[in-house]
Amino acid sequence: MIGGVEQSAQQIAIDIKQKALSLGFDLCRITSADPSARRDYYLNWLAAGQHGEMYFLQERADERLAPRVYFPPARSIVCVAMNYHVPLEQSDAPSPSRARVARYALGDDYHKHIKDRLHDLADYIRDSWPGTKTRSGVDTAPIMERELAARAGIGWQGKNSCIIHPQIGSWLFLGEVLVSLDLPPDSPATDHCGTCTRCIDACPTGAITAPYQLDARKCISYLTIEHEGEIAADLKRQMGDWLFGCDICQDVCPFNSRAPDAIDESLRPRFPGGTLDAAAVADWTLEEYHTVTRRSAMRRVSLPVFQRNARIARQNIKENNEENIEENLEGEHARESIADPNPPAAAQRV
C-alpha cells in the first residue's frame, strides 16, 4: 500500500524494478523463492571435490539450495545486476613484467558497492509495504545467485557458467533481495550460446570440462584467489600473466564484443591498463599491499598469495618473451633463406 492505496502484486513488482533502476542497477527481474532445480548436480559437484578449497560452498549447502531455508519468510526474490565493463588503456611501450587483474577487481570493492544499493532497495520495499520482511545478499551469502538470475531472466547461464545478457554481455555484478511478498515471477532467459564453444576452447587450463560444467580446481580465478597452497607445475604454466582472477572466457564471448561501458565512477579502474608490475608485487611490503588493495576486492587475497601469483606470472612472462624471441629469429632465418636461394657453399655445409 502506498499513500493508502492498495496495489496489485503486478504494480508492486513494477515499482520495485523502477526503484532498482533509479538506484543505479542496470537490470532488475523477479523470481520465486522455490528450491534450486540443480540440487543433484550441485551435490555431485561438491562430492567430486570440484569446489577445491572453497569449503564455504559445502558448509551451507542446504541454505544455498533452498532460499526459504536461508530466509524462511521468503516468497519472492528480487534479482538485480550492474554492468562493470570498463575500457582498458592499451600501451605500445614494452611491458616485460606487467601482470593482469580481472576487470571486476579494478574498481572499488563491489561487495560494498552493491550491498549499499541493495540495502537502499530493501529499505524502500519495507517502507512502501509495511510488514514486509527482507534479506539482502551478494556472492558472500549462501545464495545460488547465478541460477536465480537466470530463472528471473537477468540473462542465461552460459557455457562458462557466467550470466550473459544479450545486450550487456556477462560483465555483471549480481545481487538479490529476498522478500516476503508474493510477486509475479518473470520468465527465464533463453539460452543463446548455441553451438559456440569459444569459452571452452580458450580456457588454457581446461577448467570448463564440458558445456555448463566448471572444475573450479583448474580455474585461473580460483587458483589466483581461493587456492592458498602450492600450485601444480602444469597449471602454473597455463596461468600465463594473470595476477588476480581471469577474464579469458569472458573476453572471447561474442556477446561481450559490444558490451557497453559502466558509467558508475566507483567502477573505474584504479590501474588504467588493468595490470600491475609483477616484479614490484613480488617484493611488496605489507604497507604497499595495504595501499594498493585498499577498498578493493583484491583484499580477499593475502600478501603471500599475491606474491606467489606475481612470481608465477613473472616467470611465465619471461618464458613467453624468450619463446617470442626464438620464433622471431627463426622467422628471420626463414625469410633470409627465401631471399637468397643460393647461399655460399660454406653456409650450405653448415
| Predicted local distance difference test score (pLDDT) of residue 349 | 39
Is 139 annotated as catalytic?
yes
Given a cut of 80, whether residue 2 has pLDDT beyond it is no
Catalytic residue among 34, 120, 139, 186: 139
Q: Which amino acid is at 126?
A: R
| Predicted local distance difference test score (pLDDT) of residue 249 | 98
Q: What is the pLDDT of residues 179-214, one digit of tens each?
A: 999 999 999 999 999 999 999 999 999 999 999 999
Q: What is the pTM of this model?
A: 0.88
Q: What is the pLDDT of residues 291-336, one digit of tens each?
A: 999 999 999 999 999 999 999 999 999 998 766 555 554 555 445 5
Beta bridge partners of 164: 156
Beta bridge partners of 188: none
Given a cut of 60, whether residue 169 has pLDDT beyond it is yes
Do residues 16 and 78 touch, judged by C-beta distance below 8 A? yes
**What own/partner pairs with CB < 8 Å and gap ≥ 24 does 59-62 have?**
60/142
Residue spans of beta strands (DSSP E) within the chain: 27-32, 76-83, 98-101, 134-137, 156-157, 163-164, 172-179, 208-210, 213-214, 242-244, 275-277
Given a cut of 60, whether residue 345 has pLDDT beyond it is no
Which of these, 345, 294, 264, lies nearest to 109 by C-alpha position?
Answer: 294
pLDDT band at 91 (very low <50, low <70, confident <90, very high): low
- Cα angle 180, 181, 185 (rounded to 5 degrees) comes to 115
What is the tally of helices (H) and strands (E) in the chain?
Answer: 15, 11
Q: What is the pLDDT of residues 246-269, one digit of tens each?
A: 999 999 999 999 999 998 989 999
Nine cell digits for residue 272? 588504467
